[in-house]
Amino acid sequence: MLNKIQAITNEENQPSGCGPLLSSNSGIEVPLRRQVFEHVRAHGRATRTAITQALDISAGSVTTLTADLIAKGILREVDETAREMARGRPRIALEVVPEAAYLIGIKLSFNQHSAILSDFAGNVVATAVLQSNENRRSTAQMLSETEALINKVCANGEKTIDDIKAVGIGLPGIVNHSSGSITWSSLLKDRDQNLQAAFVEKFDMPLLLDNDTNMLTLAELWFGIGRDMTDFAVVTIEDGVGMGLVVNNQLYRGTHGMGLELGHTKVQLDGALCACGQRGCLEAYLADYALTREAATALDQDKADLKSSKELLDILFQQAKAGNSGAEAIFRRAGRFLSVGLSNVVQLFDPPLIILSGKRMQQNYMYADTVFAEMQKLTLSDNRDPCKIAVHAWDDLVWARGATVPVLSAITAAMIDGPEALDR
């Protein structure tokens, strides 16, 4: 099993450009003009000849389409190689005009919100974080914190809010991507909140909203190891347990845009209480709050009375490493439930790769050999290649970068095909 596990560091061996490197056979018809643009953005730079060969279209069509994209101010010509006397003129390549648009991606979470200011080529222009000590918030409080974060990241990038085309936000919970409504979120006091409508009213700017794990999955598809894969799954473990799934280069959301709530699948009837209000959810045995509520049984009372759950988790992990049997038992139980959750993902979707991410992945109890060996035993996989596991201990900024992806896609469609994609 060891050779199937990869511990991958941020930005490791990633090619230039952003976006999926493989073409999709999803049946979704993408206008040829946009295919040309997306090929250039995905590869960083591309010559007209390379575009002709990759898209299997005529050289004349490429010339016409790229001329239009240059006229729109979103592609430009650049010298690909330095002039060489023996070879005559340098080859001319095309690249995205980064300053054609600026946008912001945001991850909202319990104690810290994160933001990335991105240009049109997907480059990070500036970052910002905003600390928050609130637990559950009203929608108005959430918008106030979001406004402070937007102002901060704009200042860090020497931009104003008027420079921003649109914003993407990822947050934990059951989020309807299409309507912008939040059925339930552990961050909000109230259910059934339309954060998108409230945002547009406050900022007069389009908002693309989704579950935060979907945004992280898009980060893997556009900026991570998922760029050259057509199918993979992402499982996250931190404040909650989430899952994202890419099928044929497309993020799968389910019929109503609210599927793949792995953390709220049931693993024990009448089991532990989950933050969603139900019992026996996988999250109730793996998430941060599940570990901290068990900590008092493993730690001295003075250690268990710390103000911060993060401090409590850090001490719990250190105690487990030091041989505290109670602390070890907490992580072993969490590992067993993780094995069950991962085996269910493999059994249901048969992905070639599962990427494990989130703050808990910084603690090796969650990806010990025994966890994956148990996952394998629980899976009917005798006649197929075992699912590979990659471990990414990303920070929140990568989640925020994933929130730029739907904004980049919408702005691209609006600038090439018409403004309807941003009329939300």
Do 250 and 335 lie in one domain? The reply is yes
**Residue 349: predicted pLDDT:** 93
Percent of residues, the chain, with pLDDT higher than 70: 88
Phi, psi values for residue 43, rounded to 5° = -100, 0
Q: Residue 422's pLDDT band (boundaries 50, 70, 90)? A: low
In a domain, residue 164? The reply is yes
Of the three residues 82, 98, 114, the one that is the final residue of a domain is 98
In a domain, residue 222? The reply is no
Do 249 and 194 lie in one domain? The reply is no
CATH number (domain holding residue 29): 1.10.10.10
- 388-392 β-sheet, strand order: 5-7, 388-392, 353-357, 232-237, 241-247, 250-251
Token duo for residue 405 = 């992806």
In a domain, residue 1? The reply is no
**Residue 341: predicted pLDDT:** 95
* Helix segments in 72-211, DSSP class H: 139-156, 195-203
Do 309 and 382 lie in one domain? The reply is yes
CA distance 260 to 257: 9
What are the tens digits of pLDDT across the range 123-157? 999 999 999 876 788 999 999 999 999 999 999 99
**Which residues have CB under 8 Å from 301's CB, separation 6+?**
none
Statement: residue 418 has pLDDT above 70: yes
In a domain, residue 368? The reply is yes
Q: What three-state secondary structure class fits 226?
A: helix
CB atoms within 10 A of CB 131: 8
Number of domains in the chain: 3
- Distance between terminal CA atoms of the chain? 47
Mean pLDDT (whole number) for 102-127? 96
In a domain, residue 4? The reply is no
Do 71 and 145 lie in one domain? The reply is no
- Angle formed by the axes of helices 325-349 and 288-295, nearest 10°: 160
Cα dihedral sign for 289, 145, 127, 100?
positive
User: What amino acid occupies position 209?
Assistant: L
What are the tens digits of pLDDT across the range 179-207? 889 998 989 999 999 999 999 999 999 99
CA distance 364 to 298: 19
Contact (CB, 8 A) for 208 and 424: yes
Token duo for residue 5 = 């596990």
Token duo for residue 377 = 């035993």
Do 309 and 368 lie in one domain? The reply is yes
In a domain, residue 72? The reply is yes
Do 89 and 73 lie in one domain? The reply is yes
Of the three residues 98, 120, 138, the one that is the final residue of a domain is 98
CA distance readout (Å), 73 to 69, 76, 77, 157, 415: 7, 7, 11, 22, 10
Mean pLDDT (whole number) for 94-123? 96
CATH number (domain holding residue 317): 3.30.420.40
Q: What three-state secondary structure class fits 160?
A: coil
Do 242 and 382 lie in one domain? The reply is yes
Computed over every residue of the chain, the mean pLDDT equals 87
Percent of residues, the chain, with pLDDT higher than 90: 59
Structural domain span for residue 418: 100-217+398-422
Do 29 and 19 lie in one domain? The reply is yes
Do 261 and 359 lie in one domain? The reply is yes
How many residues are recorded in the chain? 424
Of the three residues 78, 98, 118, the one that is the final residue of a domain is 98
pTM higher than the cut 0.85: yes
In a domain, residue 3? The reply is no
Statement: residue 42 has pLDDT above 90: yes
Do 355 and 410 lie in one domain? The reply is no
Do 213 and 245 lie in one domain? The reply is no
Which of 112-126, 243-257, 290-304 is modeled with the greatest confidence?
Answer: 112-126
Do 412 and 387 lie in one domain? The reply is no
In a domain, residue 193? The reply is yes
Mean pLDDT (whole number) for 220-240? 93
What are the tens digits of pLDDT across the range 366-377? 667 888 889 989
- Angle formed by the axes of helices 325-349 and 369-377, nearest 10°: 40
